[in-house]
Amino acid sequence: MTHPGEQFYPEGVHWDDEIIQGTVPGLLSEAAQKFGSRTVIEFRDRPISYTGLEGMVEVAASAFMRAGLGKGASVALFLGNTPDHPVNFFGALKAGARVAHLSPLDGEIALSHKLSDSGSRVLVTSNLAALLVTALKFLEKGLIDRLIVCEDDHWGSVGTKQMPLPDDPAVITFKKFVDGATPPAQWPALSPDDVALLQYTGGTTGLPKGAMLSHGNLTSAVSIYDVWGKPGRARRGDVIERVICVLPLFHIYALTVVLLSSIRRGNLISLHQRFDAETVMRDIEVKRATYFPGVPTMWIAIAALPDLDKRDFSSLHVAGSGGAPLPVEVAKVLQQRVGMKLRSGWGMTETCSPGTAHCDTEPEKPGSIGMMLPGIELDVVALDDPTKVLGVGEVGEIRIQGPNVTKGYWNKPKETAESFVGDRFLTGDIGYMDADGFFFLVDRKKDMIISGGFNVYPQMIEQAIYTHPSVHEVIVIGIPDDYRGEAAKAYIKLREGAQPVSIDELRAFLTGKVGKHELPAAVEFVAELPRTPVGKLSRYELRNQTSSQPTLPTQPIATGGRS
């Protein structure tokens, strides 16, 4: 049986190819045995070898076990992009504990909830001021019993602002925490079914939920990408890829696509604490990086470089965009000006990242998120009946099934039950599948605007607005409207030097590009648009900022089919 889209798979790749499951510490141990002295992480221009990383992980794991943080325990990581993250991530898992990721860019309310919900009484953080100040508050509130503090200058000083530790027996440096720890006679036995990670969703409605990601889920995700990428790696030969990591390791995209996948393949991870367009370009042009996975906002920044035409991208074998839909216009700019074909796949926290992808031999499908990856099944169901499977071209909610898909949410049986139809997970994404088996996203179910009885999808309007030459970034949300109930409003950040346009001028520009019922009723120009902790433009945050706005009075506008 051929699955939709399988006819366009890379040569030699099949939907039913074997997807291997194992444990996350096992993945690192196998890589250390295989790649030995090869560099796995380069941070601040300093290399760490595969065996070096494995040694650090074993010391950390021994210390976690000595502290009673083994099977059944949760360890929270409140860390940015430094080697402290993989050392403690793999270390806690090797000790048998499960990890709860905390985002350094979250607010106190969300962080406090994640700590309490995960049951983590121990927090690992850094002495960087931006992290330690917040971490100490959790200790003061009684949310944690122990704070382990990694010292940032251990990896070389670059002028980062570090804080001294308070004189408190509950606070200990990582160096002291691991001092004298010795490996056990035998490491805890781990199963692919054990929960490895509580990865909290973005919390677009209410408080974040912790997706329970097992060792099997995470290693399946790596295996799926491994199967998909084999033909490309075979073409490139025995080359060690240099992978740029500016995506945050506490996010599932970077964790799976960069950290775990790179380790499985023996690649070098060029690790950076934050995204900076010029730093990334130095990695590409000077250090000859071969792979750069980013999110759309990063690619928007690169596409906006004034000297883009003169930059050298020739070292890149692979350039990917994920985490959010990539504006079609941005992809066009990169292809036209630097010859880079950039496509956007799709995945979720709950799928450990994999869902859909593209390959070089597929037909051109602008705006498509690609076809379902090996081992993964996608279908589209009615918005009002998630058991009713829709046909080709019909718009509904996307469901997913696969070995990489979470079994549910931590301590949330009701939300778990509501998210599944049998063994298929309801993604909350609205889209459709075409006759060739390629999927297209229309929007998030929760972002849909109902205007005058019509379903209006903000992402479709945003894609059209991005074609305007003055627009740098845009978010469209629904606002109250006396006549239609809701109407679309566009919040636009202009390109440097560009002038605002009136709502009438914007509507005239969009006429024919979107339906009459989709034309924005209002526009506002802003200096900056809100972002999520991983850099994605955030409708949720924008809605929060604008929730106090008065109802928009507008004149009736004729609504009809697409023009």
Q: Examine residue 28 and state whether it is found in any structural domain, yes or no.
A: no
* 446 Cβ contact partners less than 8 Å away, ≥ 6 residues apart: 204, 205, 428
Label each residue of 63-127 as H, E or C: HHHHCCCCCCCEEEECCCCCCHHHHHHHHHHHCCCEEEECCCCCCHHHHHHHHHHHCCCEEEEEC
Domain that holds residue 130: 47-190
How much is the average pLDDT of 389-393? 97
Q: Do 261 and 408 fall within a single domain? A: yes
Q: Examine residue 375 and state whether it is found in any structural domain, yes or no.
A: yes
pLDDT digit string, tens, across residues 67-82: 999 999 999 999 999 9
Give me the CATH number covering residue 10.
3.40.50.12780
Give residue 548's pLDDT: 46
Q: Examine residue 315 and state whether it is found in any structural domain, yes or no.
A: yes
Nearest-angstrom CA–CA distance, 260 and 25: 10
Among 387, 422, 443, where does a domain finish? 443
Q: Examine residue 197 and state whether it is found in any structural domain, yes or no.
A: no
**H-helix segments, 372-457:** 413-419
Q: Do 152 and 165 fall within a single domain? A: yes
Give residue 323's pLDDT: 72
Place of tokens 């506002």: 524
What does the block give as tokens for 363?
Answer: 């037909």
> For the chain, what is the mean pLDDT?
90
Q: Do 329 and 418 fall within a single domain? A: yes
What does the block give as tokens for 278?
Answer: 């010029």
pLDDT digit string, tens, across residues 188-219: 999 999 999 999 985 444 578 999 999 999 99
Give me the CATH number covering residue 148.
3.40.50.980
Q: Do 392 and 535 fall within a single domain? A: no
Residue 30: closest CA among 14, 54, 49, 55: 54
* 512 Cβ contact partners less than 8 Å away, ≥ 6 residues apart: 563
Rounded-to-10 torsion of CA 266, 270, 272, 276: -130
Q: Do 512 and 379 fall within a single domain? A: no
What does the block give as tokens for 82?
Answer: 């430094």
pLDDT digit string, tens, across residues 102-142: 988 777 878 898 999 999 999 999 999 989 999 999 999 99
* 557 Cβ contact partners less than 8 Å away, ≥ 6 residues apart: 483, 516, 519, 521
Label residue 295 by pLDDT band (50, 70, 90).
confident
Structural domain count of the chain? 3
Q: Examine residue 12 and state whether it is found in any structural domain, yes or no.
A: yes
Q: Do 249 and 320 fall within a single domain? A: yes
